[in-house]
Amino acid sequence: MSLSRFLIERDIPKAGSLDQRQLKEAAIKSNEVLRQLGPDIQWVESYIADDKLFCVYLATTEEIIRKHAQMSGFPATKIIPINRVIDPTTAQSSVGPVPLGHAL
């Protein structure tokens, strides 16, 4: 089964004030669980806000993400499949002209 990209929102009080040691310990714990779960799930990166983490994962199913959350102790408050990606280079794509002011 192929891997799909997901955004995971994790409610973690005071996540934004975790120090480098605490972040390292969290990464070690997450990586240990990922090794146990095997190749059906991969952690790409995470963004830290005040009381939340936003994590990008590659996984075969939402279920394996929930299993990672349960085993690691890091809640998966929301799991959102990522359907497409847009970035600044999208403006140079070869889809043809798009009128200025065009609504998405």
Each residue's pLDDT tens digit, 19-78: 999 999 999 999 999 999 999 999 999 999 999 999 999 999 999 999 999 999 999 999
Q: Domain 4-83 is of which CATH architecture?
A: 2-Layer Sandwich (3.30)
H/E stretch holding 18 reads none
Dist CA 25 CA 31 (whole Å): 10
Each residue's pLDDT tens digit, 58-67: 999 999 999 9
Q: Locate the domains of the chain by residue range.
A: 4-83
Backbone φ/ψ region at 7: left (φ over 0), alpha (ψ -120 to 50), beta? beta
| Cβ pair 37, 81 in contact under 8 A | no
Report the predicted TM-score, pTM, of the whole model to 2 decimal places.
Answer: 0.85
